[in-house]
Amino acid sequence: MSFADAVADYRQRLDQVVDGCLPPARQHPARLHEAMRYAMQGGGKRLRPLLVYATARAVGAPDDRVDAAAAAVEMVHAYSLVHDDLPAMDDDDLRRGKPTCHRAFDEATAILAGDSLLTLAFQLLAQDATADSAVRAARVARLAVASGSRGMAGGQAMDLAATGRSLNLAEVEAMHIHKTGALIRVCVLLACEGAALPPEQFSGLDHYAKCLGLAFQIQDDVLDELGDTSTLGKQSGADRARQKPTYPSVIGLSAARQRAAELISEARASLAGLDERADGLHWLAQRVIEREH
């Protein structure tokens, strides 16, 4: 079966893995556990877990070897959204068409739910019974580097600092690479861990992941500029309204779209050393550029 045909199955698989990892909603403290579950639900694209599964497929690793990694990256993604949506940060009321976590619960619970999802992500990787301890430790380190102050959290800090300022292209790109790119890249790296790939295959996959991550964020900026609120499931034009520097604001909409398309071509070209099992990686790259939300 092609990856494209299996996407619904992979999403369902992820939901089941996540459901099994999260504390039961009624377990004390119940409000916190409900908030963690709420943050993990709700129609996300699951791009990051799909990327983990697609990479595993490309390198010949069975799905169950990357279940924990797939759940962990989605938890880190969900935690980042919960914290970014807080009143002190982006102050968003809607996420994927539903009230944001602090709106559905309260700010304190949202902060703790984010903290707890981040913590649980590392626990999953460290306790993954399908991986030997070298792979477990290496994955924890990879995910921490990608998520911390020199990765995703640092990117969010750059984003906040940039609001209302003008940045040049290199600065916008650095912000995007940290804020969005690092976590997308690590999906590929986590799935490669332990696969004993030839160095040139690994480099190709890593380059694919870097290009994909940047293209994804450029496309996000483009959609924010173009989209309407009902399709996006969040406020459109929000970045512009907040005077956040984006790719389109720096190089124009048309050049931004072209840059995203070029990056996707470059990403796909860097898969040249892989066989037809890399179909999922090609499919995901295409989806990033063709998506509407």
Q: Using the rule CB under 8 A, is 233 a contact of its own copies?
A: no
Nearer to its own copies, 29 or 60 (CB): 29
Q: Is 145 in the site for its own copies (CB under 8 A)?
A: yes
Q: Is 149 in the site for its own copies (CB under 8 A)?
A: yes
Q: Which of 43, 60, 62, 148 binds its own copies (CB under 8 A)?
A: 148
- In this structure, what token pair is assigned to residue 29? 């403290």
Q: Which residues contact 211 (CB under 8 A, 6 or more apart)?
A: 263, 264, 266, 267, 270
CB of 70 to its own copies, least distance (A): 18
Query: Which residue shows structure tokens 């459901």?
Result: 19
168, amino acid identity:
N
Residue 156 binds to its own copies (criterion: CB under 8 A): yes
Residue that has been written with the tokens 């019974």 in this structure: 129
Using the rule CB under 8 A, give the single segment among 30-38, 60-68, 210-218, 241-249 that binds its own copies.
Answer: 30-38
Nearest alpha-carbon partner for 241 in 224, 219, 223: 224
Token pair of 185 as six digits: 């890249």
Q: Which stretch binds its own copies (CB under 8 A): 7-15, 25-33, 194-202, 249-257?
A: 25-33
Q: Single out the residue of 77, 45, 15 nearest to residue 290, CA to CA.
A: 45
Contacts of 1 (CB under 8 A, 6+ apart): none
Q: Which of positions 58-117 make contact with its own copies (CB under 8 A)?
A: 79, 83, 86, 88-89, 106-109, 111-116
How is residue 7 written in tokens? 């996407």
The sign of the dihedral angle between the CA atoms of 144, 195, 133, 113 is: positive
Q: Does 269 bind its own copies (CB under 8 A)?
A: no
Exposed/middle/buried for residue 239 (C-beta within 10 Å: 0-12, 13-18, 19+): buried
CB of 126 to its own copies, least distance (A): 4
29 touches its own copies by CB under 8 A: yes
158 binds its own copies (CB under 8 A): yes
Question: Per CB under 8 A, does 126 bind its own copies?
Answer: yes
Residues engaged in binding its own copies (CB under 8 A):
23, 27-29, 31-33, 36, 79, 83, 86, 88-89, 106-109, 111-116, 118-120, 122-123, 125-127, 132-134, 136-138, 140-141, 144-145, 147-150, 153-154, 156-158, 160-161, 174
